Structure formats: structure tokens, C-alpha cells
């Protein structure tokens, strides 16, 4: 618990620091928490590291499913530096916390994967919802889960991804309750963020996309609907993790949920003009 308190203190410090200093603190093992609200104004990304023998199929999986898997950067084979996402981003150390999967099962967590890095690894960075949530709040749309400091509700759906090699699985959606007037504006605003899942994939009755009970999300906290709010569903970055668990590569390293890669890319550069 002490660790957690220290982490929270540091979180407030990190919020005030420029991204290069934030990444340096993370690289030095000082912070293993979530990155929401840190490095504001900069693109953050989900991480998937795979051996090169799986990279071409995973690339195809992302190309075929751009809403859940919007690629924002891909490393050279064996090169741990994410050169197109900033200067001096070392993907082995610059994420607060990593998940290590072996044969599709989560086996370890680590703050540093330098020991695990291999010459045939390829790192994929995928856009995440932080960018569009920032934009929604800037436009005055309130997000209940953020105000309540909870995790957004996420659901397995009956929508299917387009498969690529061993990568296949359902589209996982995040859901935000909104009044119809806000939902309309949220559709317009998020459509400008194709690198952060873009516009919603569904709104209204969750049953139409296979969600039996909206009060029982598969991940995240139970959502609370205020009078008149309807569910609005966006494709979610958990989708590739589900596909990886099906593909069962011998090894795969991802970020731990919420602990993203903070890039040097200004958020506006990825906004559809």
C-alpha cells in the first residue's frame, strides 16, 4: 500500500513535468502507475511486442481492423527505439508497467523488459482513447468514469474482427453513458480522431451488439446511467489483447492496462484536419 501512496504522490509530480522528464522518471523505475492525465497534449499508445514471425500477420490484423487497432508506430525488427514517435523512446524501459504473455497467458509483470528483449522483436504502438477523451472534455462533454476516478466499462461484443493469420476474436468496446445531445456531438468530435478509435461503432441498445447485461461489463467498473443517458460504444484497445490470447504466440509483451507509452507526438498532429 505504501508503494501505491508513493506512486500517487509521484503521479501529481509527473502531471506537471514535460514528457521527456516523465519518460526519464519511468525509465528510472520511479513510477509504475497509470498515465491518464500525464503528458497532456501528447499522443499516448497501447503497446504490443511480438516476434518477427508474428509481425506481418499482426500488421495485417491492425490494417484490417483500424478502429480497435489504430497503428501509430512500428519499430524496426530488433530495434527497441520507437524512432517515429519521438527522440529517445526506448520501448524496453519507457512504459510504467508491462504485461508478459507466454502462449497467450499472462505470466509476469515488469517495469523493465530489457532482459527479455530479443533481436527479432517488433514493437507496435496503437492509439488509445485518452486522446479523444481529452478532446471530449475540452468540448464540455462530461465523462462520468473520469469524474468518479473509475475505469471505463468494457464489453466483449458479437462484432467480429477481420482475422489475419492466427489473430482473430471479438471487437471489444468501451462504453460511455451520454445524453443524446452529447452523444451526437461526441460522434462528430471523435470522428476526427481516427488514431484514437475514431467515431463510435454503436449507440443505444447493447443487445444489438451482443451485450446481454449493460450493468455487467467484462472489464472495468459498473457504469451508472443518469436519467436520459444512453450507452455509446467505441472500439477498444483490449481487442488486440483478446486476439493475442487466441493466437497464443510463444511470447508477447504489452503495456499493463492504463500504463501507456507517452510519445513526443503532439495530439493535434494525429487529428483529422
By CB under 8 A, residue 60 contacts a second copy: yes
Examine residue 246 and tell whether it contacts a second copy (CB under 8 A).
no
What whole-number distance in Å separates Cα of residue 26 and Cα of residue 202? 36
User: Does 272 engage in binding with a second copy (CB under 8 A)?
Assistant: yes
Binding mask 153-192 for a second copy (x = CB under 8 A): ---------x-xx---------------------x---xx
Q: Would you count residue 15 as binding a second copy (CB under 8 A)?
A: no
40 binds a second copy (CB under 8 A): no
148 lies in the site for a second copy, by CB under 8 A? no
What residues numbered 105-144 form the site for a second copy, per CB under 8 A? Answer: 122
Helix-helix angle 130-138:180-190, to 10 degrees: 120
Taking CB under 8 A as the criterion, the residue among 68, 73, 223, 231 binding a second copy is 73
Could you tell me the smallest distance in angstroms from the CB atom of residue 210 to a second copy?
A: 22
Q: Is the dihedral of CA 202, 272, 152, 156 positive or negative?
A: positive
Nearer to a second copy, 166 or 257 (CB): 166
Burial class (CB in 10 A: 0-12, 13-18, 19+), 150: middle
In degrees and rounded to multiples of 5, residue 111 shows phi and psi of -90, -10
Our CA dihedral for 183, 184, 189, 193, rounded to 10 degrees, sits at: 70
Q: How many Å apart are CA 27 and CA 103, to the nearest integer?
A: 27
Interaction of residue 64 with a second copy, rule CB under 8 A: yes
Amino acid at each position: 500500500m505504501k508503494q501505491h501512496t508513493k506512486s500517487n504522490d509521484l503521479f501529481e509530480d509527473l502531471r506537471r513535468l514535460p514528457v521527456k522528464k516523465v519518460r526519464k522518471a519511468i525509465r528510472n523505475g520511479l513510477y509504475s502507475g497509470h498515465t491518464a492525465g500525464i503528458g497532456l497534449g501528447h499522443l499516448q499508445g497501447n503497446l504490443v511486442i511480438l516476434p518477427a514471425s508474428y509481425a506481418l500477420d499482426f500488421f495485417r490484423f491492425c490494417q484490417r481492423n483500424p478502429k480497435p487497432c489504430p497503428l501509430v508506430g512500428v519499430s524496426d525488427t530488433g530495434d527497441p527505439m520507437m524512432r517515429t514517435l519521438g527522440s529517445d523512446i526506448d520501448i524496453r524501459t519507457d512504459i510504467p508497467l508491462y504485461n508478459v504473455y507466454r502462449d497467450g497467458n499472462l505470466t509476469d509483470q515488469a517495469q523493465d523488459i530489457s532482459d527479455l528483449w530479443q533481436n527479432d522483436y517488433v514493437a507496435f504502438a496503437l492509439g488509445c482513447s485518452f486522446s479523444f477523451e481529452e478532446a471530449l472534455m475540452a468540448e464540455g462533454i462530461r465523462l462520468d468514469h473520469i469524474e468518479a476516478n473509475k475505469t471505463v466499462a468494457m464489453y466483449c461484443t458479437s462484432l467480429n474482427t477481420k482475422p489475419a493469420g492466427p489473430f482473430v476474436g471479438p471487437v471489444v468496446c468501451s462504453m460511455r453513458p451520454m445524453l443524446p445531445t452529447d452523444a451526437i456531438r461526441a460522434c462528430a468530435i471523435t470522428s476526427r480522431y481516427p488514431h484514437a478509435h475514431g467515431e463510435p461503432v454503436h449507440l443505444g441498445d447493447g443487445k444489438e451488439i451482443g451485450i446481454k447485461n449493460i450493468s455487467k461489463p467484462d472489464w472495468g467498473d459498473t457504469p451508472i446511467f443518469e436519467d436520459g443517458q444512453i450507452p455509446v460504444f467505441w472500439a477498444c484497445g483490449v481487442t488486440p489483447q483478446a486476439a493475442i490470447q487466441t493466437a497464443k504466440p510463444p511470447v508477447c509483451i504489452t503495456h499493463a492496462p492504463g500504463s501507456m507509452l507517452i510519445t513526443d507526438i503532439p495530439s493535434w498532429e494525429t487529428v483529422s484536419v
